[in-house]
Amino acid sequence: MNPLRALLLILTVSILLTQYALALEIHHVEPPNWWVGMKQSRVQIMVHGNGIAHTEPNLQYPGVRLTSVEHSDNPNYVFLNLEIAATTKPGQVSIHFTQNKRIVKSMAYRLEARRPQSAQRKSFSAADAIYLITPDRFANGDASNDSIAGMPDKTDRSIPTARHGGDIQGMRQHLDYIRDLGFTMIWPTPLLENNQSAYSYHGYALTDYYKIDARFGSNQEFRHYVQEANARGLGVIHDVVLNHIGTGHWWMKDMPAKDWLNYPESRELTNNQHTTMQDIHVAPEERERFLKGWFVPSMPDLNQNNPQVARYLIQNSIWWIEYANLSGIREDTFSYADPQFLKQWCKALLDEYPHLNIVGEEMDDRPHMVAYWQKGARNRDGYDAGLPSVMDFPVVDAMPLVLTQKENYDSGFIKLYELLAADYLYADPMKLLVFPDNHDRPRIFAQLDEDINLLKTSLLFTATVRGIPQIYYGTEVLISSPKERNDGLLRADMPGGWDGDVTNAFTANKLSAAQSETQEFVRKLFNWRKTSGAIHNGKLLHYLPQDGRYVYFRYTAKETVMVILNKSDKTETLDLHRFKAMIKQTQSGRNIMSGDTVNLQAPLLLPARTSIAIEWKN
């Protein structure tokens, strides 16, 4: 090659490299930072940028080692595996991407210091009571974020399935209200970005795992919200979605790998048959369809069998706990995700945070189906998901009929008795999440034919039965809905959450007498619950229902609570001699709601359709 041609070739290569360096843009780095001192000392960073797989990454930082670089079939991604030594100091790691020994791009990656005792954080338990919020429907504290450029699903309160404008600022403004009602934990349905064309308000079609939806606020606002909640003695539970994303996720425009999703081409839907996970006779393809099928057409199913997907999801959950200082996790559609991945995910979170509670959703009304997923379950196949808590859908779904059907040998309270008698199926019944309704069920007030006495019975049961109680926002002011499930209507706007609302739950302005009565009932009940060791830690003993009454006891060595659920239409006396083994020689107790002294050595007068709880020291 003559010298002139050689010179031209060198110049050409130099120009091309310069152009590539200018063209190489990094679009996403996830997780966006990590922490020193984590048990999860190995972190995999997903870096997304045009042609970035053609570069060679390297870094130099004391205590940080780039152990390996992984690629997929998409040249726009690299996965950097970093190992962070226990002695590493917080700081900014410079990561360089080179070609032909020349740096074509650099990025700064921040290692943060952890909060003191972060790994030992407390979580939620049977000593807590959870207030569940659908943020879009709770309170609009910042009208300026109701409409965001580039986000097509606009705010319109006249449309039940549209966004209504509730946000983090609105939630922040009413933290005192929630605390004063007696709750100790707040569970907002997902706040992460759902940039879908429509029906995005619910939060379960994630389009960015590391970004709060701009219509709710920002990552920083969420972190400040948690700080303010904590300052009031309130913890915050993060709603996690591992099974699926939304079709608007940025991955859908440039998929990290061909196998990042299940059924990426055919987009087959799940058969929704939960039984396939335990059926010893099931055809393998039926189980596969349950696990890998898309939840709905707008929610692509993630392939957790891809190790990079699995690690991404595990790290994301840990990141939010650490970043926002969360008090627990609620995991959506738990049984739909790959079971071996779920086991891996639970273990990773509990290794990092030994006292963390995680509650998983298995939306099924059969106890054996729900119990299968709880940590410590004795399953025939030997499977143990490692999940501490599960949601008690069997009791939730039975209660409307239990309370509205006539008492008979096979209907009414006997059905509730039988469900509690099935608690032997659960590894730990005290870690069941029990609730009258939630964002996926018609409002309990509607299901009980808007009968306030029955609603109070439902609330009393929820507050005093074994497990962890959860109440859906607005139950205390009688928010209702159609009896058949209608998500847009049952997730109604909280009265007083919007400027111009005449009725205001937060200030009690213009509440009806029934609303005020119920709100005060909830306030008394759950503030009392904070004080009861028998409810927090006690055993449960129950008697067979008789004459429209179901009696159970919660007790420890020091105290006892007697609960009488009463559907009888007549004012009658209850002979307490039947319960002498529990009452013993105790002369009197205290009605937890009225404060009245109750004679426990004489028949008890029960007003019609009135349920009560009585406490005493042993």
- Catalytic positions are 332, 361
| Amino acid present at 285 | E
Bridge partners of residue 132, in order along the sequence: 187, 472
CA dihedral of 432, 436, 439, 443, whole degrees rounded to 10? 170
The tokens describing 277, both together, are 């996970």
CB 295 within 8 A of CB 336: yes
Give the residue among 97, 96, 181, 68 at the shortest CA–CA distance from 132.
181
Contacts of 125 (CB under 8 A, 6+ apart): 357, 430, 431, 468, 536
Bridge partners of residue 98, in order along the sequence: 56, 103
CB 40 within 8 A of CB 315: yes
The tokens describing 13, both together, are 């290569």
CB 358 within 8 A of CB 328: yes
Report the first-to-last Cα separation within the chain, whole angstroms: 101
Largest pairwise CA distance in the chain: 115
The tokens describing 46, both together, are 């997903």
> What number of residues does the chain have?
618
Q: Residue 230 burial (CB < 10 Å; 0-12/13-18/19+)?
A: middle
3-state secondary structure of 552: strand
The tokens describing 415, both together, are 């059905």
CA angle at residue 498 from 211 to 133, to 5 degrees? 50
Bridge partners of residue 244, in order along the sequence: 301
| Amino acid present at 10 | I
Rounded CA-CA distance 222/333 in Å is 24
Contacts of 422 (CB under 8 A, 6+ apart): 367, 368, 394
Element (H, E) at 13: helix 3-23
Rounded CA-CA distance 208/187 in Å is 20
The tokens describing 309, both together, are 């997907």
Q: What are phi and psi of 448, to 5 degrees?
A: -100, 25
Residue ranges in 426-493 assigned as alpha helix (H): 444-447, 452-464, 487-490
Q: What are phi and psi of 587, to 5 degrees?
A: -85, -40
Contacts of 405 (CB under 8 A, 6+ apart): 411, 412
